[in-house]
Amino acid sequence: MINLAIITYAMPHLRGQQPYNQNLNMWSFWITSAGMCFMTFTLTAAGVLQTHLERVLGMDFMEVQEQIALFFWMRLGSGVIVVCGVLLFVYATFSKGEDQQATTG
């Protein structure tokens, strides 16, 4: 996420243009963050369940993989959400932002 923040700050200066579309950029940040958090929780739960099934219940590895397959499908879904957020970030960063007038007062 720090890389995305650096790109967000530096890209308008490097390209010599007005800043990006900030509304889309905020949406992309939250979509990407939500996808990454869900992926983290999903894989954590899968790891805890896998450890319990293999060590405590003594199941074989392949039997356990069948039991935790749902978690990896949920991980795939969260990965798709992360990719959508990153694509939205790329679009928001490289599209021209709204022209804003500076007001003094």
Residue 35 lies in a domain: yes
Report residue 80: phi and psi, to 5°.
-65, -40
Q: In which domain, by residue range, is 17 found?
A: 2-94
**Is 8 contained in some domain?**
yes
Within a domain: residue 103?
no
Q: Is residue 100 part of a domain?
A: no
pLDDT tens figures, 12-43 = 778 777 767 788 888 999 999 999 999 999 99
Note whether residue 43 is domain-resident.
yes
Evaluate whether residue 57 is within a structural domain: yes
pLDDT in tens, 37-78: 999 999 999 999 999 999 999 999 999 999 999 999 999 999
Q: Please name which of 13, 15, 10, 27 lies closest in space to residue 92, comparing C-alpha atoms.
A: 27
Residue 98: per-residue pLDDT = 55
The answer to whether residue 26 sits within a structural domain is: yes
Nearest C-alpha neighbor of 34 from the set 65, 87, 80: 80
Per the structure, the count of domains in the chain is 1
Whole-number Å distance between alpha carbons of 50 and 64: 6
Q: Which residues contact 94 (CB under 8 A, 6 or more apart)?
A: 11, 20
Cβ distance 29 to 89 under 8 Å?
A: yes
Q: With beta carbons less than 8 A apart as the criterion, state whether 79 and 39 touch.
A: yes
Q: Is residue 102 part of a domain?
A: no
